[in-house]
Amino acid sequence: MKNPNFRFKRLLPLFILLITMLLFFLFGLDQYLSFAFLKQHRDELVDWTTQHYALTALTFLLCYIVIVALSIPGAVFMTLAGGFLFGIFIGSVLVIMAATLGATLLFLIVRYAFGDWLIKKTSPWIKKMEHGFHKDAFNYLLFLRLIPLFPFWIVNIVAALLKVRLITFIAATLIGIIPGTVVYISVGNGLNHLFEINKTPDLKIIFSPSILLPLIALGILSLLPILYRKYKGKKYE
C-alpha cells in the first residue's frame, strides 16, 4: 500500500493549479482578457511594447502559458493581442511556443497526479483504446489539434490520461496548432482598422467554410497513414 504522503505529493501540483485558477477569478483578472480592455488601452500597450519590446514579449509569453495551463477561456483573446502587438510572424512564434508550453505543463501535472491510477480503475475498453491510441498517437493528436472542434484543454488531459509519450505530445501540439494560430494572429494584426470603425473581430472566423474546410482536409491527411496501415493489415490477413 502506497504512503498517503506520496499520494498527496503527486496531487499537490494539481491542487496548486486549481487554487491558482480560483484566485484568478476571485480577483477578477478575467476582465483583462477581453476585446474591450484591449481597445481601451491599445495606445498604452503599443507604447509600452515599443519601449520595452523584449520585456513585453516575455510577459506575454508567461501570461499565455499560465492561461493555457489553467485552461482559462482567454487564449483566443491573447492570440489576437499577440497579433496586434507583435505582428504576424513574431506573434505567431510567441503564441505557438506559449500554447505548446502551457499545454505541456497541464499534460505533465495531470500525468504526475494520476499516473496509472485512473487507467487501473477504468474498464477494459479504456485500456484497449489506450493501446490503439498509442500505436498512432502522433497522427491522432495532430488530427485533434488541426480541427478546431475539440476543446484544447480536454485534448491535453485525455492525452495525459492515455499516457501519450511526452515528445509525441509536444510535436503534435506544436505542429497542429500552427494553422489556427496564424488565422487568429492575422485577425489580431488588423485590429487597428476594427478599432477605427468601432467594430469587434469575428471570433468565429475559423469556422467559416474557406478556413474550416482546409483545416478538415489537413486533419484527414494526418489520418491517412493510420487508414493505410489498417487497410494494409486487413489486406494481408
Extents of the domains making up the chain: 4-235
Contacts 24+ apart (CB under 8 A), 17-20: 17/69, 17/70, 17/106, 17/109, 20/66, 20/70
Task: Give the tens place of pLDDT for each residue, 176-207.
Answer: 999 999 999 998 888 887 777 777 777 677 77
Task: Give the tens place of pLDDT for each residue, 112-157.
Answer: 887 666 555 555 545 555 666 777 889 989 998 998 888 898 899 8
CB 75 within 8 A of CB 64: yes
Roughly how many angstroms between the first and final C-alpha of the chain, as a whole number? 45
Q: How far apart are CA 40 and CA 50, in angstroms?
A: 18
Task: Give the tens place of pLDDT for each residue, 60-89.
Answer: 999 999 999 998 888 888 999 999 999 999
The answer, yes or no, to whether residue 4 has pLDDT greater than 70, is no
DSSP symbols for 36-97: HHHHHTHHHHHHHHHHSHHHHHHHHHHHHHHHHHHT-TTHHHHHHHHHHHHHHHHHHHHHHH
The answer, yes or no, to whether residue 54 has pLDDT greater than 70, is yes
More confident residue, 224 or 85: 85
Question: Which grid coordinates are listed for 59?
Answer: 510577459
